[in-house]
Structure 1
Amino acid sequence: MNTLLTSLPKSTPLPRYATRLLGAALSATAYAVCLPWDLRNRAETAGAINETSPVTALGVTFLSLSLLSLAAYFGIRDRLSWTLLVVAAPPATLLYASLSSHPTQDANAWPVAWAFFTLVLGAGVLVAGSVARQFGPRAR
């Protein structure tokens, strides 16, 4: 149990980077499971500009809880810059790929949406990581 909360920057390179890669994989997996990627987005009705979406409130809630838990864990164990890269970068990358794959429309606002959601995601990860650092073993 104690090894699960030891400082990553002070550990040897193999466990340090393996833990970071595992965290990034968990973050990407949480995104892929909670927000399924449906390339067949289609109009709800003929002529409508609203598309169907596989995103649900429950999926967003589970994704938020998963990423906040990962951010808290890596906030305790690692530097905040690594926490941001490990937890927020994989979902932001997958969101970019998902949004950019949609067919071009008259009003293509996906770059603004991606920037906004990436900013919210990064801020949430940094806040959760910072708060968790206050309760970690190094804070005592």
Structure 2
Amino acid sequence: MLVHMNTLLTSLPKSTPLPRYATRLLGAALAATAYVVCIPWDLRNRAETPGGIDETSPVSALGVTFLALSLLALAAYFGIRDRLAWTLLVVAAPPAALLYASLSSHPTQDANAWPVTWAFCTLVIGAGTLVSATVARRFRREDG
């Protein structure tokens, strides 16, 4: 059964409640999955060698790039289909919540800088989501 392309781009606020909220839940699940796949759960820095003072992070540039591209694509899609506030909640909130849970789950904090790290990363994710959604809204087709 083929889904008509028009169905994938219809305005969510004008659709019936079941497809509207199912699409939003699917988007949030995709955003959370992208975070889980791209960013390791344990974000603490590690010594490069045993006894060394140089530390390395388990986060890779490729993982961050793939996460950013995934979230930008989701934000563009929901920017076309939904309101900006819902786009922010669907795309930016799941990774921000998972990052918060990951950073706060460690009994020993790295110099207690994690709240600042979380706030900065959440701001970047939210701003990127809003910019991508706003740009995508310019390409939205008006119904009627």
* TM-score, normalization by structure 2: 0.88
Residue 25 of structure 2: aligned partner: 21
Structure 2 residue 8 is the aligned partner of structure 1 residue 4: yes
Give the secondary structure class of the aligned counterpart of 1:108: coil
Residue-by-residue CA offset, 1:35-84 (whole Å, 9 max, x unaligned): 1213786433426373x433110110000000000000000000000000
In structure 1, the partner of 2:120 is 116
- What's the counterpart of residue 48 of structure 1? 53
Q: 1:86 to 1:38 in 2, by over 3 A?
A: same
Cα RMSD of the aligned pairs, angstroms, is 2.1
AA aligned to 2:67 is L
Verify the 8 A CA contact 2:39 2:59 in the aligned structure 1. Answer: yes
What residue number does 1:107 align with? Answer: 111
Distance in 1 between the 2:16 and 2:79 partners?
Answer: 18
Asked whether 1:94 is paired with 2:124, we answer: no
> How far off its partner does 1:102 sit?
2.5
SS in 1 for 2:47: coil
Q: Which residues of 2 match residues 61-80 of structure 1 at below 5 A?
A: 61-80=65-84
Q: How many equivalent pairs are there? A: 139
Whole-Å separation in 2 of the counterparts to 1:106 and 1:61: 24
Q: Please report how far the alpha carbon of residue 138 of structure 1 lies from its aligned counterpart in structure 2 after TM superposition.
A: 2.3
Question: Residues 102-135 of structure 1: CA distance to partner in whole angstroms, max 9, x if unpaired?
Answer: 2324721000010011011100000000000001
Q: Secondary structure at the match of 2:124?
A: helix
1:23-42 pair list within 5 angstroms: 23-38=27-42, 42=46
Q: Could you tell me which residue of structure 2 aligns to residue 129 of structure 1?
A: 133
Unaligned runs of 5+ in 1: none
Point out where structure 2 has 5 or more consecutive residues left out of the alignment: none
Distance across 2 between alignment mates of 1:125 and 1:7: 18
CA distance in structure 2 between the partners assigned to 1:84 and 1:105 by the alignment: 29
